[in-house]
Chains A and B, each alone.
Chain A
Amino acid sequence: MEGSETSNGTTLRNAFGNVLSFFILILIGVLAFSIRLFSVIKYESVIHEFDPYFNYRVTQFLTKNGIYDFWNWFDDRTWYPLGRVIGGTVYPGLTLTAGTLWWLLNSLNIPLSVETICVFTAPIFSAFTSWAAYLLTREVKGAGAGLTAAALIAMVPSYISRSVAGSYDNEAVAIFALVFTFYLYIKTLNTGSLFYATLNALAYFYMVCSWGGYTFIINLIPMHVLMCIVTGRYSSRLYIAYAPLVVLGTLLAALVPVVGFNAVMTSEHFASFLVFIIIHVVAFVHYIKGVLAPKMFKVAVTLVLSIGVIVCCAVIAVLVALVASSPTKGWSGRSLSLLDPTYASKYIPIIASVSEHQPPTWPSYFMDINVLAFLVPAGIIACFSPLSDASSFVILYIVTSVYFSGVMVRLMLVLAPAACITSGIALSEAFEVFTRSIKFQLPGLQGISPVKAEETSSDSTVPLNEVPKTDKSGETLKERPSRKNRKKEKEPVEKPSIKARIEKKLLVLPLEGSVLAIFYLCCWVPSMCMVHCVWAAAEAYSAPSIVLTSHSHDGLHVFDDFREAYAWLSHNTEVDDKVASWWDYGYQTTAMANRTVIVDNNTWNNTHIATVGTAMSSPEKAAWEIFNSLDVKYVLVVFGGLVGYPSDDINKFLWMVRIGGGVFPHIKEPDYLRDGQYRIDNQATPTMLNCLMYKLSYYRFVDTDGKGFDRVRRTEIGKKHFKLTHFEEVFTTHHWMVRIYKLKPPKNRIRGKTKKSKSKSTSTISGKRSGTKKNPWN
């Protein structure tokens, strides 16, 4: 670094370094791609979970019918009888990306199925993400930090969890778009080039296309701009980086149908407009300051600022008036639940019911970002020395994303790149300190004796020398007893390290210590982290959740019940039959069984979902009437009691009650709880034991083992022997995980009247109670 070689040697070394880092980047890309293939190796090349099935279906439609039909697609197979305008309500980035990939490969005569493309989109884009992270970190702290950050982001478990092969969801491409947009912003900020500003707006457009999380960008960048202005770091580069982005970005965002006029109408975007005005005022002040003599400027300041403040006040007043006039204060429910974490649980049970919208637990931080959690503080400190525009952006990014990840476990995903970037910076800074001290000591080996002397301390420079090491490596592993001392010492260190070049002699560490530390940083921490990441990728995050496996004493069991049930539906029911289930299974039913569903995972109509929830929590007859009014032929329930599959409908049932009760007040949650306890054994309330969900789940369950022992709830069920009057069981999968019931057709009134056989009619009435073999509804 600071070696005074000939210019020839330096350029050679630079070229060598460039080639080397190029190959390292390729290897990182390969690593990022291949670490996500565990799901394909362990299971099969299949689309995962719920939302990816919808995206897959949309992609199929796109590749089959073309882009124009896609924009106008009205889907009549979901949300029956309402339907859904798909083209205007999806973020099209992911499907367009995969569709383009498919089209490209096919036009190159590489015939891949749409499904294969969809499965591998996420791993490909995670490789792109790691390169984008390299670029971003290089802009902030140089190539070494960039490479470290890229390697970390390639294998951070939090990101793996959303981007394994088959996890074909918006986040797969959105994280790449996020990091790349930030990179271009920083690049524009560093160079002040309009070209990069244009690219930045386009990357932002791609992000808007891909994910609703784009509001994070359009709030974070204004925050950073504001921070720069307030701390007196305004420059004309900042103006070039920000002002075109707002105008172009707003226009581009308004082009995406799902965003549309929201780009100028909702409060999520107002921050950017406000800062847009502020930066113009500041830019104007700067211009005047440059033009005028200092003495005149003082006069001008009072005038210009007072006018600026008046304009700002007027604009703020207009904004406040606009915002106050809208009922939700202009914020969408999801954004509000981010700002006020208790908002969703109070007002919107449908958002609170999703498990990934819950706040995370502490272990999940360790699980998801592992050792990075300890490196992040060191990275933040490294960003402060010296503080530049770019590094202040990274600090802001990590701080806000830590907050957001604390609100919703899903947003851990936004934290992951920030954590990787800061810990990449931390690792490479620490590495640089150690290598520098080794380099300094190695040429003159006589210097060992002063090193020894330093180790035994008593030199005045020792506290200075010791601290960086404890900062960097001590954070990760060693628990130094004197935490307070260390905190105190941190402060004086930062200032010297700004002038590191000058005081490099002071920053020399003991040779053995730095060799050990390098060994520790290069081998031990990464390998420990690596082991964890590979384990997480292989074991924790690769399950496709439509195929389940379990290990028991007699080997591996595979539960393929979902696909079994959907295949049954697609083979044994009419094309236009409607299938009712809880909304979780809507996407899968439409995608795999190709049957019309009532509600699905796009929870756009709360009332409709509440209707289904009410039906599930009503007694059989009321439920039959609700379903019949919706033209439902089949009801599908997921039941895990036989094999111990915990996320089944009985466990989700309280949410159905809550959501249903939110719209239809005759459903009351306390009716289903015994003393506040949710139970299904013989202590359960009669309402619970008679509701449709209970009956459909446990119908004939006692036949399996004679006792009706539920392995999820670990209890015997309360009501064992009962018959269904309005529903009939038509299919139950191998492990009973999916059960499909058919609605019995309504009683034929005319025949019943004309027959006039008293005995029969009485027997039907009694038959309803006693549940004889005779079916009154046939």
Chain B
Amino acid sequence: MVKPSSSSSSTSQDALALFNSLRSAYSATPTALKIIDLYVGFAVSTAIIQVVYMALVGSFPFNSFLSGVLSCIGTAVLAVCLRIQVNKENKEFKDLAPERAFADFVLCNLVLHLVIMNFLG
């Protein structure tokens, strides 16, 4: 989750403790949410790969690049929204059924990918 990269001598201990507590806290999350997290991570890494590829090769069919990256980011964002909504710990969405949240998610994805396909060129 958090990159303990800033490893100066004094804070490295803290970072390690933080990392441990993060891992223990995260292991408590339900499996469904973990799957969503994996999905988000996959989408984001795909986006990053595309950006790197663009930097190496060039952005000539710009709409293809744009739709590729934005589709990844969009998927990630929508999945994060879904995760927020189905998370039991979120008090704001107590009265929102997970099925409803998932239906919204599917609808939003449908719109997103219709647009992407249209824009792909």
Contacts and interface: CB of A to CB of B under 8 A. Distances in A.
Interface string A215-237: 00000000000000000000111
B45 interface: no
B36 interface: no
Interface stretch (A299-307, A371-379, A420-428, A459-467): A299-307
Given A254-B63, A264-B66, A304-B2, A197 B81 contact: yes
A261 interface: yes
A194 B105 contact: yes
Interface stretch (A29-37, A288-296, A382-390, A601-609): A288-296
Main secondary structure on chain B at its contact with chain A? Answer: helix
A247 interface: yes
Interface in A292-323: 292-293, 296, 299-300, 302-304, 306-307
A239 to B, nearest CB: 7
Given A194-B101, A303-B2, A239 B115 contact: no
Nearest to B77: A243
A636 B2 CA distance: 71
B57 to A, nearest CB: 18
Contacts of A626: none
A197 B105 CA distance: 10
Nearest to A302: B11
Interface in A572-622: none
A283 interface: yes
B108 to A, nearest CB: 5
Given A248-B115, A251-B67, A303-B6, A194 B92 contact: no
A344 interface: no
B93 interface: yes
Interface string A72-84: 0000000000000
Contacts of B4: 303
Contacts of B105: 194
Interface string B67-106: 1001001100110111011000110110010000101110
Contacts of B74: 244, 247-248, 251
Contacts of B22: 288, 291-292, 296, 300
A250 interface: yes
Given A236-B84, A244-B77, A307-B3, A193 B66 contact: no
B56 interface: no
Interface in B106-121: 107-108, 111-112, 115-116, 118-119
A37 to B, nearest CB: 37
Nearest to A283: B80
B35 interface: no
Nearest to A295: B21
B119 to A, nearest CB: 6
Nearest to B13: A299
Contacts of A525: none
Interface in B1-48: 1-6, 11, 14-15, 17-18, 21-22, 25-26
B44 to A, nearest CB: 10
A712 interface: no
B62 interface: yes
Interface string A707-718: 000000000000
A307 B3 CA distance: 9
Contacts of B112: 247-248, 251
A250 B70 contact: yes
A239 B104 contact: no
Interface residues of A, number: 38
A149 B90 CA distance: 34
A661 interface: no
A236 B92 contact: yes
A192 interface: yes
B25 A243 contact: no
B14 A261 contact: no
A251 B70 contact: yes
B92 A237 contact: yes
B71 to A, nearest CB: 8
A251 B66 CA distance: 8
A248 B14 CA distance: 40
Nearest to B104: A194
B25 A235 contact: no
A247 B18 CA distance: 33
Nearest to A296: B21
Contact of B15 (A240, A290, A292, A303): A303
Contact of B90 (A194, A236, A296, A300): A236
Contact of B111 (A202, A288, A290, A291): A202
A396 interface: no
A255 interface: yes
B80 A195 contact: no
B96 A193 contact: yes
A304 B63 CA distance: 34
Given A243-B77, A251-B115, A288-B2, A193 B104 contact: yes
A194 B81 contact: yes
Contact of A239 (B70, B80, B116): B80
A252 interface: yes
A248 B78 CA distance: 10
A251 B119 contact: yes
A198 interface: yes
Given A202-B111, A239-B80, A244-B74, A300 B92 contact: no
A243 B81 contact: yes
A247 B111 contact: no
Nearest to A245: B77
A303 B7 CA distance: 10
B26 A299 contact: no
B2 A255 contact: no
B56 to A, nearest CB: 17
Contact of A243 (B62, B80, B116): B80
Interface string A187-217: 0000011110110011000000000000000
B19 to A, nearest CB: 10
B107 A239 contact: no
Contacts of B116: 251
Contacts of B11: 302-303
A306 B6 contact: yes
A648 to B, nearest CB: 47
**Which of B85, B89, B105 has the most chain A CB atoms closer than 10 A to its own CB?**
B85
Contacts of B80: 239, 243, 283
A198 B107 CA distance: 8
Contacts of B89: 290
Contact of A255 (B17, B107, B118): B118
Nearest to A242: B77
B85 A194 contact: yes
B111 A201 contact: yes
Interface in A251-267: 251-252, 254-255, 261, 264
Contacts of B6: 303, 306-307
A195 B107 contact: yes
11 contacts: A192-B85, A194-B85, A194-B105, A195-B107, A244-B74, A244-B78, A252-B115, A261-B66, A288-B1, A291-B25, A296-B18
Given A193-B104, A251-B66, A291-B25, 8 more contacts: A194-B78, A194-B82, A197-B81, A236-B84, A236-B90, A236-B92, A247-B73, A248-B111
Interface of B: 1-6, 11, 14-15, 17-18, 21-22, 25-26, 62-63, 66-67, 70, 73-74, 77-78, 80-82, 84-85, 89-90, 92-93, 96, 101, 103-105, 107-108, 111-112, 115-116, 118-119
